[in-house]
Amino acid sequence: MLIEKRVIIMKLFRIIALAVILGLLGCNSNQNKTDNQNKISGDLIIFNAGSLSVPFMKISEEFQKKYPGVNIIREAAGSRKCARKITDLKRDCDIMASADYTVIDQLLIPDYAEWNIKFATNEMALVFTEESKYSGEINKDNWSDILLNEEVAYGRSDPNADPCGYRAVLTVKLAEEYYNKPDFAKELLAKDNQYIRPKETDLLALLESHNIDYIFLYRSVAQQHGLKYLLLPNEINLKNPEFADLYRSVTVDVSGKKPGEFITKKGEPMVYGVTITNNAPNKKAAMKFVEFLLSKEKGMKIMEENGQPSAVPMPTISYDKIPDELKKYALSK
């Protein structure tokens, strides 16, 4: 009987000892996880397209819940202006997120960045308010006539600073062919130039104060701000890959890397791009943020909730240069 009691006691001691060991291991595991998160800290500088302002604000808030030691500094501007801050002004920047992936390819790679991951899509729309002239009757068949009306004022962003600006020009040129309206692009692009602004979101104040009636804007931005918008035909909205050949039939010249140089932009389906700069001051935090952004359950979920569908994964010519941790979010061409 005494032996049986000793055996039972020994078994109890073993169970207790095992529980203590497992508890300590669990604590160490949690501690290691916490320690790893605490190592991700400091300022994280992000230059992003104006159309990414709302989703990136929400993504940043969720990211900081996981990495509270990171102080995110976001600057929104036209994508080409964002690139100029890096190339011309030599500003510190960890992450550059562009509304047009080709801005990164053409202005940053290879001197200021090595790779580019395509991550979201969008489409052009004509945005207005209830107070906009002819808002009750505008449709996909008559909008071109309404915008040419001298009583109506419209706005667009600067093609040399912002992809939305040159996409507005491309959309107008495609519309000229689609509606068979000779000289439509020339006439409309010569009208209301006093309302051209550096980036598309700068136009919102003009619209909401009724200084202008319509703006060419991304559908996602209109949704995020609760504005009315007219969806344009797939043949001109730069959204549908099935019309890629048609989109490429129109072009616009924008400023190049150096003064006096120009880049000819061809129409193509809209795709956003993101990269980490070569001289990123906080590469560790930048890597974690881009991982968070591109994750289907995290950043991309927020992007889609804000009207910008995921493009992950897509082929990229810089695939071999992408860090191993991020390769799963892209495809090799």
> Which contiguous run of DSSP H or E holds residue 177?
helix 163-178
In a domain, 18, yes or no: no
User: Does residue 284 share a domain with residue 195?
Assistant: no
Quick check: 175 pLDDT over 70? yes
pLDDT (0 to 100) of residue 35:
39
Per-residue pLDDT reduced to its tens digit, 253-281: 999 888 889 999 999 999 999 999 999 99
Q: Averaged over 175-191, what is the pLDDT?
A: 98
Say whether both 105 and 133 belong to one domain.
no
- Domain presence at residue 7: no
Residues 178 and 199 in one domain: yes
DSSP letter (8 states) at residue 185? H
> Which range (7-21, 138-152, 283-297) has the least confidence?
7-21
Question: Which is nearest to 38 in space by CA: 74, 66, 73?
Answer: 66
Which range marks the domain in which residue 236 is found? 124-265
Q: How many domains does the chain have?
A: 2
- The DSSP symbol for 54 reads H
- One domain, residues 139 and 260: yes
Q: Do 113 and 132 sit in the same domain of this protein?
A: no
58 with 182, same domain? no
State which amino acid sits at residue 322. I
Cα Dmax for the chain: 106
| Cα 266 to Cα 263: distance, rounded to the nearest angstrom | 10
CATH number at residue 133: 3.40.190.10
Judgement on whether residues 260 and 143 belong to the same structural domain of the protein: yes
Per-residue pLDDT tens for 10-40?
A: 555 565 655 545 555 554 444 444 435 558 9
Q: pLDDT by residue (tens digit) across 59-70? A: 999 999 999 999
Residue 51 burial (CB count, 10 A):
32
Domain identity same for 93 and 143? no
Residue 301: partners with Cβ closer than 8 Å, 6 or more residues away: none
Whether the pLDDT of residue 3 is over 70: the answer is no
Residue 283 has pLDDT above 50, yes or no: yes
| Tokens of residue 21, six digits | 């060991």
Answer whether residue 314 shows pLDDT above 60: yes
DSSP annotation of 289? H
pLDDT for 275 equals 98
- Does 140 lie in the same domain as 227? yes
Q: Looking at the domain assignment, is residue 246 inside a domain?
A: yes
In this structure, are 89 and 129 located in the same domain? Answer: no
User: Are both 239 and 312 inside the same structural domain?
Assistant: no
> Is residue 16, in this structure, part of any structural domain at all?
no
In a domain, 240, yes or no: yes
pLDDT tens string 70-97: 999 999 999 999 999 999 999 999 999 9
Where a domain ends, among 232, 250, 265? 265
Do 252 and 164 touch, CB atoms closer than 8 A?
A: no
Regarding whether 248 and 135 lie in a shared domain, the answer is yes
C-alpha angle 318-112-160 in degrees, rounded to nearest 5: 95
187, part of any domain: yes
State the residue for tokens 């000779």. Answer: 182
| Start-to-end Cα distance in the chain | 76
pLDDT value, residue 5: 52
Domain presence at residue 304: yes
